[in-house]
């Protein structure tokens, strides 16, 4: 059983929660907690032995927490996700392989693309692919079509696996902190398009990738995971792109694992991540 808690901090919270579990004869397998002193916030993730009465346990824990506490017991272990793509295949291919072998930690419901290039790989994996071209239509019309496809699946998360279009605040508002994007840069450096070209022209010695939740501000959402690798003067812009794709795949995979295992808490455009 997994228990996640987020609330205002106060003295004795850990002891009070542990006492409730002890009275129910529940052994704590793993416990991670963090206090944000500036925000006076408390975060906890527990793994405990199974119980047959989760609602009763939730009520008992709530009774020892502040009134506005958020508590979830046994979040869905198998999340449902929709993946959105453009032309790049590397992140999608990794997701489809993990999904096929049941190691993703979620179930991919479908793939939506604004270009046709990745339909073939989806077909090979028996994955529904929906083509929604963005050309020759308004952004509102484009996003409305996407929303109509997504809604029947009722996904827990939407993954932007190199979906190279900027989503409107109206679209993002439909799925608050439920859209995960992989950005080909170590944010906050090189925001927007062509970051590897920007990095090459700047002569950087490190390149990276960032997985983050999508917010109204371009590439400014809460960061889930990041990674960097060294580069040098011998790297061309094409070399950086090639190396960057490997980082993007690894960072997105790590971020999705953390999200699907309910290890990520979002607050004040930041995250607490219990790795």
CATH 3.40.1260.10 fits 79-273, yes or no: no
SS3 category, 132: coil
Domain spans, the chain: 2-73, 79-273
Percentage of the chain exceeding pLDDT 90: 72
The confidence score (pLDDT) of residue 188 equals: 57
Number of H helices, E strands in the chain: 8, 13
Torsional class of 114: left (φ above 0), alpha (ψ -120 to 50), beta (otherwise)? alpha
C-alpha 213/C-alpha 160 separation (Å) is 10
Q: What is the pLDDT of residues 4-44, one digit of tens each?
A: 999 999 999 999 999 999 999 999 999 999 999 999 999 99
Catalytic residue among 88, 94, 156, 219: 219
Q: pTM of this prediction?
A: 0.89
Q: Which superfamily, per CATH, for 2-73?
A: ACT domain (3.30.70.260)
216 carries an active-site annotation = no
């Amino acid at each position: 059983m997994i228990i996640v808690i987020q609330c205002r901090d106060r003295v004795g919270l850990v002891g009070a929660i542990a006492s409730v579990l002890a009275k129910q004869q529940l052994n704590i397998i793993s416990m991670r907690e963090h206090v944000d002193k500036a925000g006076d916030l408390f975060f906890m993730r527990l793994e405990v032995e199974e119980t047959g009465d989760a609602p009763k346990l939730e009520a008992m824990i709530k009774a020892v927490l502040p009134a506005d506490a958020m508590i979830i017991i046994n979040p869905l272990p198998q999340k449902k996700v929709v993946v959105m793509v453009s032309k790049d295949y590397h992140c999608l291919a990794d997701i489809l392989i993990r999904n096929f072998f049941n190691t993703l930690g979620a179930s991919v419901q479908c793939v939506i693309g604004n270009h046709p290039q990745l339909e073939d790989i989806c077909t090979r994996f028996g994955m529904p692919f929906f083509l929604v071209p963005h050309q020759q239509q308004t952004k509102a019309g484009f996003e409305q079509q996407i929303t109509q496809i997504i809604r029947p699946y009722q996904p827990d998360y939407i993954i932007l696996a190199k979906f190279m279009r900027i989503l409107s605040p109206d679209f993002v508002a439909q799925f608050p902190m439920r859209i995960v994007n992989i950005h080909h840069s170590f944010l906050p450096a090189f925001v927007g398009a062509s970051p590897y070209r920007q990095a090459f022209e700047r002569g950087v010695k490190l390149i990276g990738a960032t997985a983050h939740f999508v917010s109204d501000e371009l590439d400014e959402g809460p960061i889930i995971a990041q990674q960097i690798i060294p580069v040098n003067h011998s790297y061309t812009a094409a070399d950086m792109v090639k190396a960057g794709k490997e980082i993007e795949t690894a960072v997105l995979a790590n971020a999705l694992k953390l999200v699907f295992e309910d290890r990520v808490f979002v607050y004040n455009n930041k995250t607490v991540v219990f790795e």
